[in-house]
Structures are given as structure tokens and as C-alpha cells.
Structure 1
Amino acid sequence: METIPDFLMPEKWYDIKVLKSGKDAATAMTYRTHYDATVKAFTALGMHSKAKTHAARGSGARMAKVAGATESQIRRLGRWNTSAMEGCYLSALPR
């Protein structure tokens, strides 16, 4: 089991990857591994999406909006410009 880093000290967690390669928390998963895992999961669930490695960005943005996050907060955290966020990620939500 991994130890939980001290989040009060950025130098203790800043290099840790969420999608990591093997047991090394500082080595990112390769694009190909991420892509293949996403395709495998979608296939197992009977899902189809043009987006593969970015598929969760849209749902994450919509979930944040429903939970009360402002568009400014979502844009900052997702590092989107306004047109990309509204056109691709929050397009299905009423304004």
C-alpha cells in the first residue's frame, strides 16, 4: 500500500502522478497505456466515444458544474479557454 504524502508540503507530493507507471509514483503512465486501458474499459461497457484519453474531462467538468463550481473555477482547473470549455465540455448544460 502506498503512503499518503503530506499535502501541506508541496515538495512532498508535487511530482506524484495520478496515472502512474507501475509502482513508481513519479513516472507517468505512457499515452499508449492510457489509451489502450480506456479503449478496453469502453469496450467492456459497450460504450463508444470519439474521445479516448480525454473522455473524463467532459464528464468531470459537467459534474463540477452540477456540484456548484463556477465556470471560472472549471476553466482554471481544466486549463481551458472559454470557447473550448463551452463548446466541448459544458455544451449540454442549460445556461
Structure 2
Amino acid sequence: MNLENWNEERYKELNTYFRIIIEQMLRNNVELAEQQQAGHSLQLDDLVAQFSEDDKERWDEFLQLDRKKMEVDMWNHLHGNGTRFQPGVGFTNPDDDTTW
């Protein structure tokens, strides 16, 4: 498996960063809070559209790392290693609740 461009530490760093940013947006953005209270489902694209330009670049980096993580998880799964696959959830690791 070619692990070029895979950086687990950076993946976790960006995952945590965006978890915090999105939680803050949902708490502090009146328009988003009103949409949630009205029962409207929010789409991730709607949140990303409100990111700063720097955060949009970080988001693109995160998505690239996330795709690579999926490849790594699939490779490991197919070779009997790594995390389990749970339909509808994806690859899960019961010992790691730090990433979405």
C-alpha cells in the first residue's frame, strides 16, 4: 500500500480543528441555530461555505487526508488488519472516539 501523503497526526489535528469550528458555528451563528430549531437539516456544504478562505484550504487538505484514511482502512480491512467495518457507520475503532 502506498502511504504517500498520509499523515495521521495532521489528520487528527484537522479533524479536531473542524470539530471545534463546526460546534462553535452551530452554537454562535443565529441563522444556523434558527434553522436547527425549525427542524431544518443542515448540510455540511452549507457550513463549509461559511468557512474563511484559510479554513476552506484546510478543509480541502482534510478531505484529501480523509480519502487517504479510507484507502488505508480499506486496505487494512481487506488484509485482516485494522479497524472493523460496520455497515452504515464505516470503519470503527471502539478505542478511538476522538475523530468523527
TM-score normalised by length of structure 2: 0.24
TM-score normalised by length of structure 1: 0.25
Which structure: greater helix fraction? 2
Larger relative contact order (Cα-Cα within 8 Å, sequence gap ≥ 6) = 2
